Amino acid sequence: MDCRTHETQPAARPIALVVERDAELVGLVAGGDRHAFEVLYRSYFPRLTRFLQRMTRSAPLIEEIVNDVMLVVWQKADTFDGSCKVSTWVFAIAYRRACKMLHRLDDPLESFPDALAGEADCQPEQRFEQLCLAHALGAALDALPLSQRAAFQLAFYHDMSCAEIAEIMDCPVNTVKTRLFHARRRLALLFEGQLEGRP
């Protein structure tokens, strides 16, 4: 999949409205508005949780990082200068916090969670097949180097452009493209290997 820019997306107007709303909320937070912070927190909590869950696989660690990130947002809102999207700023904080935590983490990460737990309508055979595929994909993602895994998640699960990912990961756009290229290639091999290893 090629890196996409949001300007070419059909939903560009709603995205622009969200960007404006987020920037307005951060401005209010900078002035000490607790309600604006609560709205921002509720908006970013599920997105950050999804992103961090694929990075860490540890529920307690995810909660700790999200709370740390939002504390930074509360404390540093007045430093946000609008040179990037609020989402880019928040995800960059989350990425850096997660990297620091993972470097200090000695315990093994939790196994791939049941990502399809809510799909109760499936037949048992279909459910088992979906769980096997989810496990294979999770294991393949876990095997990627952290930088490739994070770039892949931001592009494919959070629909971010290469330029946004480069800001979050503090690296050149070409580095992001290289990481995505290697991540896709390696995932294809790893995923195939996981499926071949199934009984």
pLDDT, position 134: 67
Section 31-40 average pLDDT? 94
The residue segments making up the domain with residue 87 are 1-106
Total domains in the chain come to 2
Q: Do 2 and 58 belong to one domain?
A: yes
Would you say 66 and 42 are in contact if contact means Cβ atoms under 8 Å apart?
no
Q: Do 118 and 96 belong to one domain?
A: no
Q: Do 43 and 127 belong to one domain?
A: no
pLDDT (tens digit per residue) in 95-132: 988 888 876 654 434 333 433 344 444 565 666 666 66
Would you say 188 and 169 are in contact if contact means Cβ atoms under 8 Å apart?
no
Q: Do 77 and 46 belong to one domain?
A: yes
Q: Do 97 and 176 belong to one domain?
A: no
Cβ partners under 8 Å of residue 39, min gap 6: 25
Distance of alpha carbon 133 from alpha carbon 114, whole angstroms: 11
Q: Do 98 and 51 belong to one domain?
A: yes
Query: Does the pLDDT value for residue 8 go beyond 50?
Result: no
pLDDT, position 158: 84
Going by pLDDT thresholds of 50, 70 and 90, the confidence category of residue 53 is: confident
Query: Does the pLDDT value for residue 32 go beyond 60?
Result: yes
Look at the pTM and tell me if it is higher than 0.75.
no
How many CB atoms neighbour CB 170 within 10 A? 10
The residue among 106, 128, 151 that closes a domain is: 106
pLDDT, position 40: 94
- Residue whose token pair is 């459910």: 127
Token pair in block for residue 130: 């979906």
Token pair in block for residue 16: 């622009």
Instruction: Assign residue 13 the CATH number of its domain.
Output: 1.10.1740.10
